[in-house]
């Protein structure tokens, strides 16, 4: 059982309940030892139901404390003891994972609340507001089981789900990428494009076949009807809004916020972000920079359906129009 004194010591040591702002000397090993010792005190079948259930809730409290301590340590000093690997019992492993998941989201939000910048204040207010109206899922994943992706995180469009590789990210990259993925969640244009894409897919399950048909028709010198032209433009526009334009909007907001946090010393240098931002011209707005950067980064597709001149030309025209918006 966790005594009241121990609970108080834990509370004072980690400042739980408040933002994990300052570096704290968290003794992860002694927390883990307390958990191990508690394991040995399992009352067992001879004990009463109440005794067993008390033991169980103390066990859960110890596991949650460890998750809280681990993430506080990570955010305050970039140390990651990965206690998860040491949880041998599958139920404890799952409990720890779930606790770390919840604490990683809440503490990252709390951490960002320290920033007085208007970008940060608006970002957090938008998130807190949207989360009350729209589903949101946040999951830590292991590098090995994340969609075989090279990316350190992802936003599952349509499911409003953020996935982050906790085991792969250092603290500063964690914060930058956390902001970026939440920016996708806040992007109403992205949500609309995803929803409109589902409507289009339901209306026309074979839409890509239809588009290829239109491309072939044009090649044969047959006039494209206004409905066909509208379908091509609608499909291309939705694809760009879900892809390149969504990245431009999210990175514009992410980089602005990153620079604020850098100037406030709330985040340390992130090498890849600084390398990208070094290409920004001072007179250029963040939005114009991101448009230029992503336009250069994303090659114009030339394979598959894009070999048809009508489709390829419409893509290029709509893309350049969107980049001027």
Of 246-265, binders to Zn ion (CB under 5 A) are 247, 250
Q: Which is nearer to Zn ion, 184 or 319 (CB)?
A: 184
| Least spacing, CB of residue 119 vs Zn ion, in Å | 17
| Part of the chain binding Zn ion (CB under 5 A), chosen from 12-20, 228-236, 239-247, 300-308 | 239-247
Choices 29-37, 40-48, 104-112, 240-248; region in contact with Zn ion by CB under 5 A: 240-248
CB of 77 to Zn ion, least distance (A): 28
How far apart are CB 177 and Zn ion at their closest, in Å?
A: 9
- Closest CB to Zn ion among residues 68, 252: 252
CA-closest candidate to residue 157, choices 250, 234, 252: 250
Q: Which is nearer to Zn ion, 99 or 250 (CB)?
A: 250
Length of the chain: 325
- Collect all residues with Cβ–Cβ distance below 8 Å to 161 and sequence separation of at least 6: 136, 137, 138, 139, 155
Start-to-end CA distance of the chain, whole Å, equals 62
* H/E stretch holding 161: strand 161-165
162 within 8 A of 137, measured Cβ to Cβ: yes
CA dist., res. 291 & res. 245, Å (int): 8
Residues 6+ apart with CB under 8 A from 48: none
Nearer to Zn ion, 154 or 215 (CB): 154
Nearer to Zn ion among residue 250 and residue 311 (C-beta): 250
Question: Using CB under 5 A, which of the segments 27-35, 213-221, 243-251, 291-299 binds Zn ion?
Answer: 243-251
Measured from the CB atom, the residue of 34 and 286 that comes closer to Zn ion is: 286
- Closest distance between Zn ion and the C-beta of residue 200, in Å? 22
Task: Work out whether the CA dihedral 187, 189, 195, 201 comes out positive or negative.
Answer: negative
Q: Which stretch binds Zn ion (CB under 5 A): 65-73, 144-152, 162-170, 245-253?
A: 245-253
Q: What would the DSSP string read from start to end of 273-301?
A: HHHHHTTS-TTS-HHHHHHHHHHHHSPPP
Residues in contact with Zn ion by the rule CB under 5 A = 247, 250
């Amino acid at each position: 059982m966790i005594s009241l004194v121990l609970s108080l010591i834990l509370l004072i040591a980690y400042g739980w309940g408040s933002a994990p702002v300052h570096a704290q000397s968290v003794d992860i090993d002694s927390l883990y030892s307390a958990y191990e010792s508690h394991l040995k005190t399992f009352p067992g079948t001879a004990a009463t139901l109440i005794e067993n259930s008390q033991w169980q809730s103390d066990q859960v409290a110890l596991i949650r404390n460890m998750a809280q301590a681990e993430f506080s340590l990570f955010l305050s000093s970039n140390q990651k003891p990965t206690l998860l690997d040491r949880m041998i019992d599958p139920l404890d492993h799952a409990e720890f994972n779930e606790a770390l998941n919840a604490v990683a989201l809440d503490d990252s939000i709390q951490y960002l609340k320290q920033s007085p910048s208007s970008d940060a204040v608006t970002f957090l207010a938008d998130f807190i507001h949207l989360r009350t109206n729209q589903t949101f899922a946040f999951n830590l994943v292991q590098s090995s089981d994340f969609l075989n992706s090279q990316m350190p995180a992802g936003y599952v469009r349509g499911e409003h789900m953020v996935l982050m590789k906790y085991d792969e990210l250092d603290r500063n990259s964690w914060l930058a990428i956390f902001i970026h993925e939440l920016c996708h969640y806040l992007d109403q244009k992205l949500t609309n494009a995803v929803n409109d894409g589902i409507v289009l897919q339901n209306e026309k399950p074979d839409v890509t076949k239809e588009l290829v048909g239109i491309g072939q028709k044009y090649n044969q010198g047959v006039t494209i009807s206004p409905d066909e032209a509208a379908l091509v433009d609608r499909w291309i526009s939705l694809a760009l809004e879900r892809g390149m334009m969504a990245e431009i909007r999210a990175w514009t907001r992410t980089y602005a916020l990153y620079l604020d946090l850098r100037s406030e010393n709330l985040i340390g240098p992130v090498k890849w972000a600084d390398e990208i931002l070094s290409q920004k011209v001072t007179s250029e707005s963040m939005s114009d920079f991101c448009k230029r950067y992503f336009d250069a980064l994303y090659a114009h597709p030339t394979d598959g359906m894009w070999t048809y001149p009508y489709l390829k030309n419409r893509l290029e025209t709509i893309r350049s129009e969107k980049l001027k918006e």
